Structure 1
Amino acid sequence: MKQGIGWSFVAGSRTISRPCLGGNVLCRKRSAVYASWLPSAQIASSAFTLGTAAVLPFYTFMVVAPRAEFTKKLMENGIPYVILGILYAYLLYLSWTPDTIRLMFASKYWLPELPGIAKMFSSEMTLASAWIHLLAVDLFAARQVYYDGLESNLETRHSVSLCLLFCPIGIVSHIITKALTKQAD
């Protein structure tokens, strides 16, 4: 057994063990990108915290100062979606395994099944990527509620707040608020 230490900027350091075989043996060099030298639980935890903290200022301004020019300009910005999208893609890459598609679409009809999805989400990395996905979609929905409220001159603070953690309920809250406001007029 031949041992050595390999190092790269992307993968960090790692020990490489190769069996010693007599004669000339053609070995294909595997090209693999190793995402990080940090433990995956630490990456997942950091991404979870970073993603959650990144969206809070947007929600805060939509709730505290919805009509302020600063808030309107802030909400026009697409940067949070780009950042969350990149973070999501990175976590998805780290959590992807050869079995991912098989777990997601386990039935013969290629439809997702709950046991396969549950097994996938038993990984912290997959769970962190799903959380970032939810944060991006929830922020987008909250922004739509916010814009609709500005356009229709409706109160949206309660609906935007609900969108942070209970997005479908926040959307329903906005629809009900809009309907009740129309009836009152």
Structure 2
Amino acid sequence: MVMPFYALMISKPNSRVTRNLMESKLLWLILGVLYIVAAYLSLNSEDVVRAILNAFTQQQGGNTAVSAAAAAGTSAEPFISRCLTLFSNFMSTPETACASWLHLISLDVFLARGVFLDAMEWGTPCRHSVLLCCMFGPLGVLAHAFTRYAHRTIDSMFA
């Protein structure tokens, strides 16, 4: 769904259509609604409820001293282990995987949009940074910061 936006930012960065789309709130509305639906489905999934129940109701096997310490509340290790188990089980459900994917896509396109709009304001090249945002999110922002600094430095040398 977000690939056409990336395609426009990379192939036609100076187009008025691209700038209008990136300044629009439509993409955020669509991604927000999709994320709310995915989060709702994820939190109401039987697999997620089962994962929560299993993580906090199962006994930690093996060492009875550790179990006794956990029962007494003197060790955080069993709690941390249960939280990690919960997270692992939670992320293995299709509904949560979908919600997580939407979360990552939203973050990356939000970063790319910020890079794009900043580049348009400062007249900085941004195609490489937007492409990096598409694949690696924060690395695109870092590349844009470096490009913006280098572009301003070079411009000031020849001004």
Q: Tell me the TM-score normalized by structure 2.
A: 0.71
Residue deviations 1:57-92 (CA, integer Å, cap 9, x gap): 111111101011111111122111111111111111
Distance 1:116 1:170 in 2: 32
Distance 1:62 1:134 in 2: 19
2:86 aligned with 1:86: no
Quick one: which amino acid aligns to residue 181 of structure 1?
H
Distance 2:148 2:154 in 1: 10
Stretches of 4+ aligned residues off by more than 3 angstroms: 97-100, 113-116
> Match of 1:67, SS?
coil
Residue deviations 1:123-157 (CA, integer Å, cap 9, x gap): 12101111111111211111110011011100000
Corresponding residue number in structure 2 for 1:64: 11
Distance 1:120 1:146, change over 3 A: same
Count of residue pairs the alignment pairs up: 127
Q: 1:116 aligns with which of 70, 86, 102?
A: 86
Distance 1:165 1:114, change over 3 A: farther
1:172 CA drift (Å): 0.8
Residue correspondence of structure 1 range 3-14 to structure 2 within 5 A? none
Corresponding residue number in structure 2 for 1:181: 151
Residue correspondence of structure 1 range 9-158 to structure 2 within 5 A? 54-96=1-43, 97-98=48-49, 114-158=84-128
More helix by share: 2
Quick one: which amino acid aligns to residue 128 of structure 1?
C
Q: Percent identity?
A: 34
2:108 aligned with 1:161: no
Distance 2:84 2:143 in 1: 28
Structure with bigger RCO (C-alpha 8 Å, 6+ apart): 2
Distance 1:114 1:170 in 2: 30
Distance 1:175 1:162 in 2: 12
In structure 2, the gaps of 5 or more residues are 56-75
